[in-house]
């Protein structure tokens, strides 16, 4: 591993980490590792004890929208490795005041204040199980899920948007009136039906790109608040 020095606007010399290409390391792996090593959010997550840089995306979105209220009941879909669950638990005061339930098809190390279960949200029994675990309907449904990438941009976009549609349907099943749904989406078409359905069932629907979301990424977040209740897709 080598470093390259540069200058910041403050006049302080900054070090940019460059990774030498090892014999078994692909160029894409090398570039990914360089980006991780030079990402200030990755370093900050380590310092502050968060499991992923994604924790700051939720923090920044909620700093503006204020939907993670003390005492709220929250579902975190695709919760592993737990960064969003950590933020949600802190903001709603779980477990003393609020309640956070995380589910994923992958296991996750325990998060203080969070109830976790290995579960597929697409299982027909999942909505009722979640409401039982929460002790009632949810106030917030979070989804930072992304479908496995194929490398083909159009295919990957369609896959993630299909996943968002399914997450939105799940949210309609478990949310209390007035509730909120936050999900990762990608820029670029095929969202008309999704947006129409959300605008029908929620009082407000908006796109947000938090500062922690990399500028070169097509990633956006879709926030729907003020669930009207009882609406079905």
DSSP state of 218: -
The predicted model gives 18-45 an average pLDDT of 59
Task: Give the pLDDT band (50/70/90) at residue 25.
Answer: low
Whether 38 has a pLDDT exceeding 60, the answer reads no
Catalytic residue among 184, 199, 209, 232: 184
Instruction: Say if CB 133 and CB 117 are below 8 A apart.
Output: yes
- pTM confidence score: 0.81
**76-129 pLDDT per residue, tens:** 999 999 999 999 999 999 999 999 999 999 999 999 999 999 999 999 999 999
Mean pLDDT value across residues 2-10: 38
Per the annotation, the verdict on 184 as an active-site residue is yes
Distance CA 224, CA 212 (A): 20
Contacts of the segment 211-216: beta carbons below 8 A, 24+ positions apart: 211/60, 212/41, 212/53, 212/54, 212/56, 212/57, 212/59, 212/60, 213/57
> What SS3 state is found at 111?
coil
CA distance 179 to 200: 14
pLDDT for residue 230: 63
Alpha helices per DSSP H over the chain: 27-38, 40-48, 54-65, 83-92, 126-134, 153-174, 192-201
Instruction: Answer yes or no: is pLDDT of 8 > 80.
Output: no
Q: Which residues pair with 227 in a beta bridge?
A: 202
How large is the average pLDDT for residues 185-197?
80
Mean pLDDT value across residues 59-68: 97
Q: How far apart are CA 189 and CA 180, in angstroms?
A: 23
Domain ranges of the chain: 2-38, 54-227
- Cα–Cα distance, 42 to 60 (Å, whole number): 15
Phi, psi at 26, each rounded to 5°: -75, 165
Q: What percent of the chain has pLDDT over 70?
A: 80
Q: How confident is the model at residue 33 (pLDDT cuts 50, 70, 90)?
A: low
CATH topology of domain 54-227: Rossmann fold (3.40.50)
Q: Sign of the C-alpha dihedral, residues 60, 61, 64, 69? A: negative
Closest to 75 measured CA to CA, from 123, 144, 178? 144
């Amino acid at each position: 591993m080598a470093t390259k020095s540069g200058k910041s606007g403050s006049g302080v010399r900054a070090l940019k980490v460059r990774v030498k290409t090892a014999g078994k390391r692909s160029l894409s792996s090398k570039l990914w590792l360089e980006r991780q090593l030079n990402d200030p959010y990755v370093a900050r997550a380590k310092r502050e004890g968060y499991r992923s840089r994604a924790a700051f995306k939720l923090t920044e979105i909620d700093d503006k929208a204020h939907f993670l209220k003390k005492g709220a009941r929250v579902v975190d879909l695709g919760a592993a490795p737990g960064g969003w669950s950590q933020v949600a638990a802190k903001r709603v005061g779980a477990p003393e005041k609020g309640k956070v339930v995380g589910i994923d098809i992958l296991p996750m190390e325990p998060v203080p204040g969070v109830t976790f279960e290995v579960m597929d949200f697409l299982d027909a029994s999942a909505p009722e199980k979640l409401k039982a675990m929460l002790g009632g309907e949810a106030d917030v449904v979070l989804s930072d899920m992304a479908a496995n990438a194929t490398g083909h941009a159009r295919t990957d976009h369609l896959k993630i948007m299909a996943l968002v549609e399914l997450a939105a349907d799940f949210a309609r099943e478990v949310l209390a009136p007035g509730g909120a749904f936050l999900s990762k989406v990608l820029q670029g078409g095929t969202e008309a039906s999704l947006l129409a359905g959300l605008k029908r069932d929620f009082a407000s629907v908006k796109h947000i790109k938090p500062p922690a979301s990399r500028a070169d990424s097509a990633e956006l977040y879709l926030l729907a608040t003020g669930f009207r209740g009882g609406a079905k897709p």
